[in-house]
């Protein structure tokens, strides 16, 4: 169940250009969070909270890790928070990744830019369960690359950059042909990327995690809807998602 | 003991604080944070005659001390609201107000009679002020005659009290207020959002898919207070005040200006407990400023020399 | 090099940034902070036919991301402005715009002709939108016919360009904009302040002596952007945009929405160097978003798919 | 000349209920300030700056002292500023106290509540010049009393409290009869107090320092005017004041 909690910043460090890793402590969140869920963070007393994925969970230390990129005032403020500061968070929000362990031997993780964070926690979980993992990570360019090593610990990891300054040049879909077999994919990133991925992998089962500008973040305001196939049908990204089956919503 | 109760036409409120329409859905989500019976009342998300999908996304943007929204009245339609949402709310000890939004006068009347027949709700908030739909909504709210007409017809369709929700996007809000009072409105609800826009600098276009959106939050409080203060001098029906409330002091400010109760919208997004916390704080704030009841403060900003 | 210059009717601006009327006096005070020649233009405090004292104090209040003011057009009157203030400003390399405010059409015309005769200023900003005076001001601004009439008469009184300053406190700002364009306005200036109020909780009365005041500052930016975007689609005269600008990004937002130049009011109080700093930042912001001149950005928020 | 400067908080301490003494460092301000002038302080990025009197000037340490009471959000924020923080200030603003030393043997300082601060700096200055000083300080009640000892260093100091919980009971005017002779008075406090003082002392020369809600604080916006005797005449408190001759303005 979602709660409003105070989380204490344990550390914050820059791990790529404008990209930060922050460890936040709170026992309730660490105990109840699942990969794919997010925190709705109050930043600088602004009107709207900022949704940020839980990138990994460390129950022993009552801590979770978030990874974020500075894209505006809220994330800038966040990046300047010093250890010891407490943040007001609502979480764990939304629904995490779900899958059938029994039918999955190999999973493919496909992340683009700041969509990568939730996949890391998922990778850790799958890895613990003995599921084989392959990863494709896409970035704008070399300076933005982060967590490559962390994913390599799970298995083979392909890095692509749009400008070719690191790894393969192109988009995440450019290396799909090289990854070989997998039973299910999990993807998170910008909408154009998710469109390309779901199209190319339409013969596979997959889960995608979506972003949207949010109001309430709890399912009450209809700010974050995404249409489904059926006439007038929709899902709320904040409370029905952010993770959906690849064919559940219309991108 | 500070007396927080307020009696409004058709509504016995244990305290003057209710969530504003559209910012609290149909209560389910916030019921996970606290017991909804603690609220003065609940105003549901707008109900239309049929299910509506609303506008494309993005539907919200943040502004200085406020936000823009262009939800576009997405809702499951009156029938499904009665079937699936009202029963849940009926489980709480709290009056239910239905926010009614039509494209045509007939649709307003149809929605109201449907609610009325099933005895589902305690009062109507007539939404003639939604800036985010192409037809209906604000069209009714800017023209005193149209506003009066739809008010009279909805009044005729049931014997439930009707609170007409006014638009601030007008030259003369008092004219609209007086017109709907004469048409039989039991109360007013003010203010709805101000039409605004934000540009997406990179996209070189309006950020919201609907281009314009309704401005709400603390930024608009001075406009709400002014309009309530002005209207209060010209009507005798009670006013449910809203626009930028985020603390108990704000509630007192609205009471002094002339509101008899208040609704809280945008602030729920920042703090899901805001209604509850304000209800808890209100007695202390009233005491601090020398009032021992909510009633004693209503309209008191009008009498000083 | 990013080209910041803008040509408006009667005004060659080296950059699009000018201080807004009433927030910069007649320039003297801010000339102690920097060289006024660096500004695009200067809009003076409102001039009336005779000296005016204005409203009682308190005249200002702070609000969330904004402020209320009810100065009441205090000024020494057109004659003294020409005698004592204009000569000082004339010492700088900067176009001077006179903000003209009358109680009657005759007063508007008299002020304009007095300025014109002495060749004191480069353009007029016709203030038909001051919410803080009992007579004149906003009365003219809410009625398209009255607005058109005073515009035509002031136009006839001189051959200086006339920018009509519109009030946002109207149901249909486009109607007023079109009316004054047809009446011969050379440009528009928008927006003036929104009428608001703050209650003094201890005093149990409106905090401002005038009761209501004009809301300005960042809080109103979304309303300004919306109105400019809307009006831009219906008129072909240039718009001087204002309302809540406090950074170079805000200037670009106004340009995209359709403004050809901008004025900065309230932000001067927080940061006396704000105009200068924004002029310095603007080239970088334009570059960042892919523009190599101010002109290239004007109205560009209207073309995206 | 007024400038916008960064001032560093050197210390802050509570000296009476809700009343704080803060030492701010900046060489330009310390060098140029005169008793009676004020700082226009940016607080918490709010729209309007807060005018706060310069209570005393310490040129050797490049420092000035301000004394303020928490009356709202801005002063509350200020009281929470830690040493080392920098504040954005415009100053020295306004005109300080002026007087003719030659004709003044004894000065009477009359301060009410948070109007007391500017009188302290003035007392220090007069004292240095060998002028004899008497002081009347008025407070709401005992808990609010501050700087009594500091004024006693200049000379005889009368304290009154409205509720009689400390010193004499009553208003500053209640003890005017007891103070004996003086050549000129200087007063600062709430308007009702200043009215009473100027009325009672209409046969004396005096200076009063006024407060007003300000917009610009530099003389440009006409927010802070006060009428003078003459038809339509006025002064701007921020730039013509805040100190005026007692008969210059209409309270
Ligand atoms: C479920 C979910 C999970 C997310 N996880 C992460 C993550 O792990 N790391 C990360 O860096 N980012 C993540 N994002 C995106 C993140 O929410 C935005 O980058 C952030 O809100 C931008 O805030 P700002 O104040 O810096 O930007 P501004 O542009 O100043 O923000 C203005 C407003 O727009 C909203 N907004 C702007 N961009 C986005 C966006 N891309 N998505 C949603 N709202 C946006 C803000 O929340 C705010 O309300 C996630 C978004 C969602 C919906
Ligand atoms: C020349 C001058 C010197 C002053 N010197 C001192 C001093 O040395 N110590 C001290 O404690 N106070 C002093 N004041 C009063 C001080 O400015 C206010 O207490 C302060 O601005 C309140 O800010 P706030 O945010 O806490 O209150 P809020 O009520 O939240 O402020 C809201 C707005 O009202 C204004 N305001 C509220 N009260 C006053 C007031 N009494 N005078 C002017 N503006 C007000 C604020 O500046 C702000 O713009 C002085 C005022 C003036 C004009
Ligand atoms: C996301 C959102 C959705 C809203 N939906 C409705 C609605 O369906 N019907 C309605 O009458 N008002 C609606 N409103 C307006 C609010 O009820 C309220 O009048 C307005 O937001 C001002 O109050 P606030 O500043 O406390 O939010 C909505 C406001 C927001 C922010
Ligand atoms: C203190 C103050 C005084 C003003 N006086 C005038 C005036 O004399 N004439 C006028 O046309 N507008 C006047 N305005 C309105 C501004 O010129 C401007 O239109 C408005 O404040 C919005 O811009 P801003 O948000 O940048 O302040 C005044 C505004 C303020 C805050
Ligand atoms: S953000 Fe409010 S419903 Fe999803
Ligand atoms: S505060 Fe602006 S003139 Fe004094």
DSSP A178: G
- DSSP, collapsed to helix, strand or coil, labels residue C39 as coil
Q: How far D146 CA sits from the closest chain C CA (Å)?
A: 25
- DSSP, collapsed to helix, strand or coil, labels residue B123 as strand
CA distance C261 to A129: 62
pLDDT at A131: 93
Start-end of H helices in D24-147: 27-32, 73-79, 117-128
Taking an 8 Å cut-off on Cβ atoms, the answer to whether B203 and C229 are in contact is no
Q: How far C273 CA sits from the closest chain D CA (Å)?
A: 9
Q: Looking at the CA of A236, which ligand is closest?
A: 5
Counting from 1 in the atom list of ligand 4, the atom nearest the Cα of C244 is 25
pLDDT at D128 over 90: yes
Closest-CA residue, ligand 5 atom 3, reads A219
Contacts of D75 (CB under 8 A, 6+ apart): D43, D50, D68, D69
Nearest CA to C81 among C8, C18, C21? C21
CA distance B191 to B214: 11
CA of C262 to the centre of ligand 4 (A): 13
Per the listing, tokens 């610990």 go with A153
Taking an 8 Å cut-off on Cβ atoms, the answer to whether A216 and B217 are in contact is no
**Residues for chain D: how many in total?**
251
Counting from 1 in the atom list of ligand 4, the atom nearest the Cα of C189 is 19
Report whether A166 contacts A158 (CB < 8 A): no
Nearest CA to A229 among A198, A187, A200? A198
Taking an 8 Å cut-off on Cβ atoms, the answer to whether B58 and A213 are in contact is yes
Name the percent of chain A in helix, strand, coil, to the closest 5: 25, 35, 40
Q: What pLDDT, in 10s, does the model give residues A7-47?
A: 999 999 999 999 999 999 999 999 999 999 999 999 998 99
Taking an 8 Å cut-off on Cβ atoms, the answer to whether C206 and B194 are in contact is no
Over residues C220-238, mean pLDDT: 98
Report whether D90 contacts D218 (CB < 8 A): yes
What percent of chain A has pLDDT above 70?
A: 100
CA of C141 to the centre of ligand 3 (A): 29
pLDDT at C64 over 70: yes
Q: What pLDDT, in 10s, does the model give residues A150-183?
A: 999 998 999 999 999 998 898 998 898 898 899 9
- Chain B residue with Cα closest to A88: B271
CA of C301 to the centre of ligand 2 (A): 42
pLDDT at A224 over 70: yes
Query: Does C104 contact chain B (CB < 8 Å)?
Result: no
- DSSP, collapsed to helix, strand or coil, labels residue D7 as strand
pLDDT at A174: 87
Catalytic option among B44, B130, B237, B274: B130
pLDDT at A111: 95
From the CB of D48, is ligand 2 less than 6 Å away?
Answer: yes
Q: D223 to chain C: which residues are within 8 Å by CB?
A: 57, 59-60, 69, 71
Report whether A224 contacts A212 (CB < 8 A): yes
From the CB of B243, is ligand 3 less than 6 Å away?
Answer: yes
Instruction: Write the burial class of residue A204 (CB in 10 Å: 0-12 exposed, 13-18 middle, 19+ buried).
Output: middle
Question: In C, residues 34-63, which contact B (CB 8 Å cutoff)?
Answer: 63
CA distance D93 to C174: 43
pLDDT at D56 over 60: yes
pLDDT level of residue C141 (50, 70, 90 thresholds): confident
Best mutation site among D49, D71, D81 for ligand 2, i.e. most ligand atoms within 8 A of its Cβ? D71
CA distance A189 to A209: 8
pLDDT at C136: 61
Q: Which helix (H) or strand (E) holds A53?
A: strand A50-53
pLDDT at B1: 80
pLDDT level of residue A206 (50, 70, 90 thresholds): very high
Per the listing, tokens 């608001």 go with C196
Which stretches of chain B drop beneath a pLDDT of 70? 131-138, 304-305
Q: How far C269 CA sits from the closest chain D CA (Å)?
A: 4
CA distance A159 to C279: 42
Taking an 8 Å cut-off on Cβ atoms, the answer to whether D217 and C269 are in contact is yes
pTM of the model: 0.96
Report whether C24 contacts C30 (CB < 8 A): yes
Phi-psi region of A36 (alpha: psi -120 to 50; beta: other; left: phi over 0): left
Q: A47 to chain B: which residues are within 8 Å by CB?
A: 62-63, 65-67, 217-218, 266, 269-270
- Chain D residue with Cα closest to C27: D220
Q: Looking at the CA of C58, which ligand is closest?
A: 2
pLDDT at B155: 96
From the CB of B190, is ligand 3 less than 6 Å away?
Answer: no
Taking an 8 Å cut-off on Cβ atoms, the answer to whether D220 and C24 are in contact is yes
Question: In B, residues 12-41, which contact A (CB 8 Å cutoff)?
Answer: 22-25, 28-30, 32-33
pLDDT at C180: 97
Taking an 8 Å cut-off on Cβ atoms, the answer to whether C270 and D90 are in contact is no
- Who among B63, B226, B249 is closest to C212 (CB)? B226
- Write out the residues of chain A at the interface with chain B, using a CB-CB cutoff of 8 A: 1-2, 4, 42, 45-49, 90, 212-227, 232, 234, 239
CA distance C300 to C302: 5
Q: B208 to chain A: which residues are within 8 Å by CB?
A: none
> What number is the ipTM of this complex?
0.96
Report whether B43 contacts B125 (CB < 8 A): yes
From residue D206, how far is each of B90, D99, D209 by CA, in Å? 70, 9, 10
Q: How far C121 CA sits from the closest chain B CA (Å)?
A: 33
Residue of C222, C259, C284 to mutate for B, most B C-beta atoms under 10 A:
C222
Q: A224 to chain B: which residues are within 8 Å by CB?
A: 57, 59
CB atoms within 10 A of CB C84: 12
Averaged confidence pLDDT in chain C: 95
Q: Looking at the CA of D238, which ligand is closest?
A: 6
pLDDT at C129 over 90: no
Q: Give the β-pairing of A63-69 and A19-25.
A: antiparallel
Start-end of H helices in chain B: 28-31, 78-80, 86-90, 105-117, 138-142, 144-157, 173-182, 221-232, 248-257, 267-270, 274-288, 294-297
pLDDT at B120: 83
pLDDT level of residue C291 (50, 70, 90 thresholds): very high
Best mutation site among B23, B140, B241, B243 for ligand 3, i.e. most ligand atoms within 8 A of its Cβ? B23
Would you say the C-alpha torsion C166, C171, C173, C178 has a positive or negative sign? Answer: negative
Nearest CA to A100 among A207, A230, A217, A210? A207
Over residues C6-16, mean pLDDT: 97
Contacts of A80 (CB under 8 A, 6+ apart): none
Round the CA-based radius of gyration of chain B to a whole number and report it.
18
Counting from 1 in the atom list of ligand 3, the atom nearest the Cα of B217 is 25
- The set of protein residues with a Cβ atom below 6 angstroms from ligand 4 is C 20-23, 45-46, 69, 71, 73, 99, 127, 130, 165, 192-193, 216-217, 220, 242-245, 264-267; D 215, 221
CA of B22 to the centre of ligand 3 (A): 5
Token pair of D47 as six digits:
């729209």
CA of D225 to the centre of ligand 6 (A): 7
Report whether C191 contacts C223 (CB < 8 A): yes
Closest-CA residue, ligand 4 atom 6, reads C22
pLDDT at D72 over 90: yes
Token pair of B223 as six digits:
């406009």
From the CB of D157, is ligand 2 less than 6 Å away?
Answer: no
pLDDT at A62: 94
Over residues C265-272, mean pLDDT: 98
Over residues D8-35, mean pLDDT: 96
pLDDT level of residue C132 (50, 70, 90 thresholds): low
Averaged confidence pLDDT in chain A: 93
Catalytic residues of C: 130
pLDDT at A1: 86
Counting from 1 in the atom list of ligand 1, the atom nearest the Cα of B67 is 49
Over residues C240-258, mean pLDDT: 98
Report whether C225 contacts C232 (CB < 8 A): no
Nearest CA to B43 among B223, B217, B163? B163
Q: What pLDDT, in 10s, does the model give residues D204-247?
A: 999 999 999 999 999 999 999 999 987 768 999 999 989 999 98
pLDDT level of residue D100 (50, 70, 90 thresholds): confident
């Amino acid at each position: 169940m979602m709660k409003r909690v105070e989380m204490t910043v344990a550390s914050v460090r820059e791990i790529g250009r404008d990209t930060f890793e922050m460890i936040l402590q709170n026992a309730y969140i660490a105990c109840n969070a699942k990969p794919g869920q997010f925190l709705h963070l109050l930043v600088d007393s602004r009107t709207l909270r900022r949704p940020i994925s839980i990138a990994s969970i460390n129950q022993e230390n009552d801590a979770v890790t978030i990874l974020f990129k500075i894209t505006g005032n809220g994330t800038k403020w966040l990046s300047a928070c010093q250890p010891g500061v407490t943040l007001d968070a609502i979480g764990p929000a939304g629904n995490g990744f779900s899958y059938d362990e029994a039918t999955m031997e190999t999973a493919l993780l496909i992340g683009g830019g700041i969509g990568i964070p939730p996949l890391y926690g998922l990778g850790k979980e799958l890895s613990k369960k003995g599921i084989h993992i392959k990863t494709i990570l896409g970035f704008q360019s070399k300076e933005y690359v982060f967590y490559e090593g962390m994913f390599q610990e799970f298995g083979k990891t392909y890095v692509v950059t749009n400008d070719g300054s690191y790894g393969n040049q192109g988009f995440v879909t450019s290396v799909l042909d090289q990854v070989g077999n997998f039973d299910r994919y999990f993807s998170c990133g910008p909408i154009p990327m998710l469109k390309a991925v779901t199209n190319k992998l339409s013969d596979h089962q997959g889960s995608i995690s979506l972003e949207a500008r949010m109001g309430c973040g709890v399912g009450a305001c209809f700010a974050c809807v995404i249409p489904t196939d059926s006439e007038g049908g929709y899902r709320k990204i904040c409370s029905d998602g952010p993770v959906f089956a690849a064919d559940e919503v219309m991108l | 003991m500070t007396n927080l109760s307020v009696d409004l036409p058709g509504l016995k409120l244990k305290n003057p604080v209710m969530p504003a329409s559209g910012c609290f859905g149909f209560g389910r989500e916030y019921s996970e944070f606290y017991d909804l019976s603690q609220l003065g009342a609940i105003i549901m998300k707008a109900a239309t005659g049929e299910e509506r999908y609303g506008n494309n996304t993005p539907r919200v943007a943040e502004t200085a001390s406020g936000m823009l929204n262009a939800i576009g009245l997405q809702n499951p339609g009156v029938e499904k609201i009665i079937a699936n949402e009202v029963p849940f709310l009926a489980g709480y000890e709290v009056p239910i107000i239905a926010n009614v939004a039509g494209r045509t006068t007939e649709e307003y009347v149809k929605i109201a009679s449907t609610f009325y027949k099933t005895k589902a709700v305690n009062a109507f908030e007539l939404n003639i002020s939604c800036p985010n739909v192409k037809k209906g909504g604000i069209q009714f709210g800017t023209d005193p005659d149209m506003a009066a007409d739809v008010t009279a017809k909805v009044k005729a369709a049931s014997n439930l009290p009707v609170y007409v929700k006014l638009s601030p996007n007008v030259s003369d809000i008092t004219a609209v207020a007086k017109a709907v009072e004469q048409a039989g409105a039991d109360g007013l609800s003010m203010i709805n959002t101000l039409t605004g826009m934000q540009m997406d600098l990179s996209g070189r276009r309006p950020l919201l898919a609907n281009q314009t959106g309704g401005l709400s939050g603390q930024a608009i409080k001075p406009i709400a207070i002014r309009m309530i203060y002005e209207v209060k001098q010209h009507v005798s029906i009670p006013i449910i005040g809203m626009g930028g409330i985020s603390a108990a002091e704000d509630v007192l400010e609205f009471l002094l200006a002339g509101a008899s109760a208040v609704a809280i919208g945008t602030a729920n997004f920042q703090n899901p407990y805001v209604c509850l916390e304000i209800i808890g704080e209100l007695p202390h704030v009233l005491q601090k400023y020398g009032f021992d009841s909510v009633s004693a403060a209503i309209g008191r900003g009008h009498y000083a020399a």
